[in-house]
Structure 1
């Protein structure tokens, strides 16, 4: 009998087992909601700043790219918000039922979006507002500190070492504070979908469940968040450079550039889609592990299977998996 302990490796391993057990189902959800998100991350910089990105390697394409409109950032933000909530609701619902070994149906996952969209929207908006207030608060305190030094008669060289070190310290402090808050509320999306809570209730509930599991939550934030950020940045920075290297024959290499661009975008979008899928599924598994750590899972399992452990009867009929507190 194989087991998974309450750590990052165990969370990802369990998420992988659930995804593999219902691979077609999660593939359909990924194509519907996550793949458009991935392509939008790649395409948006080209739409918002076509001149600065494309002129460095292919001026001919500038005539084919429409100028950035002032509404594009707003439309893009709405697109990302809606598809992110759709993906979060459907994948969370499917992973939660897959964890218990229940049948995972596509229609049921789609219906879960209708019931979870508004709770998710309200909860995410409150969390984002609070994080924004924290960032503004740190910035305001830093502004007051610098102005206080000026009022006391100190001369500040804004190009000097003191300002650079202070800015670095403030940035590190702000990043650490934001990561800690995100770790506290790492389960809000799952709680809003699974437990049908919304508003401040999921924030409080997530903070309670994450006690003793913050290291795992922070590790997941760094792993999936930093990974997605690096992939997005690499696509933005490396694709123009690669294309400039490919323009060895200016009169005949245009089709090679475009074909290579399409290939890079497809590969990059596929990797980011898989990355986001594992991030969403891992959040659900972490939610279940947190409940197990707080002694809430045994009673539910007793109701579900009349046993004291989590047994996942996957489709392949292989060895069952057990969640235990290490």
Structure 2
């Protein structure tokens, strides 16, 4: 058997390996990705639907907000189910282990509530960082205004540009934090951690691979965002909505699998993966099946 060149621990290797894993058990992963369908549909139709609903029912906001909250919780429930089952399957497939739907669903018994607690912890920290940042900016503005250095005019073009800059900096901070947390859900599923622990573990693992994590986030985020934007500006159509939801669902599947591969690459970079690989595999290589007949495909762990 001819051994292909090993993938280096980089963005291309993450995409290539995650794609191979999905194609190996394509029906299995597409089935699990259906959990992402409510989120995909929500991202496609929700902006327009929400605007029209609140416009047409201005006097019934309380009931609408309650319904919207239940709707959001339902979407998050299915999204966490998708992340848990896909991550479980992708991690086992990464090492050439058999995967099936029943085992993937059973894994949710142990991973769903830890995933939910970790998601809540991430939301709380992100909200806290955003509030502290905004309060700091407001405090600085009030200070310079009271001292008399500048006169704040909300209608000024300078104030507009200042507000845009503040917003961009906040987005950059949030993106940086989420790059550090990109492996948190994988840590929950694979290492059975929960709450704030997976966030800290992810921040440790992603050191040295932050650029790869950022590229994965941008790659799927930008293309997914373009799909949502094109549907928002296009004429409403059931066919367009269906196709866009499917493509977005597949993007979410690929991103989840890519983060799982990235997790294992990061463990290899930190010298932790050989402990798992040494039992049943060669010391420096992982065995990834190319098809159902277990034809070995060797992926070398080589630092870029």
* TM-score, length basis structure 2: 0.90
Matches within 5 A, 1:180-195: 180-195=176-191
CA–CA separation in structure 1 for the residues paired with 2:83 and 2:190: 11
Q: Secondary structure at the match of 2:259?
A: helix
Retained in 2: the 8 A contact 1:48–1:69? no
Retained in 1: the 8 A contact 2:24–2:289? no
- Which residue is equivalent to 2:42? 40
Question: What is the deviation of 1:224?
Answer: 1.6
Q: Secondary structure at the match of 2:107?
A: helix
Q: Secondary structure at the match of 2:65?
A: coil
Question: What is the deviation of 1:198?
Answer: 0.8
Across the two proteins, how many residue pairs are aligned to each other? 294
- Which residue is equivalent to 2:95? 100
Correspondence for 1:127 among 122, 128, 151? 122
CA–CA separation in structure 2 for the residues paired with 1:307 and 1:7: 20
CA–CA separation in structure 1 for the residues paired with 2:87 and 2:244: 24
After superposition, the C-alpha distances for 1:194-247 in whole angstroms (9 at most, x for unaligned) are 11011222112111111100001111122222322332222122235xxxxxxx
After superposition, the C-alpha distances for 1:11-46 in whole angstroms (9 at most, x for unaligned) are 011000000000110111122x01232122223234
Asked which structure has the greater CA Rg, the reply is: 1
* TM-score, length basis structure 1: 0.84
Retained in 2: the 8 A contact 1:179–1:221? no
Q: Secondary structure at the match of 2:161?
A: helix
CA–CA separation in structure 2 for the residues paired with 1:46 and 1:166: 30
Question: What is the deviation of 1:95?
Answer: 0.2
Do structure 1's residue 270 and structure 2's residue 266 form an aligned pair? no
Retained in 2: the 8 A contact 1:48–1:72? no
Question: What is the deviation of 1:181?
Answer: 0.6
- Which residue is equivalent to 2:139? 144
Q: Secondary structure at the match of 1:282?
A: helix
Retained in 1: the 8 A contact 2:126–2:174? yes
- Which residue is equivalent to 2:205? 209
Consecutive unaligned residues of structure 2, counting only runs of 5 or more, are none
Do structure 1's residue 115 and structure 2's residue 91 form an aligned pair? no
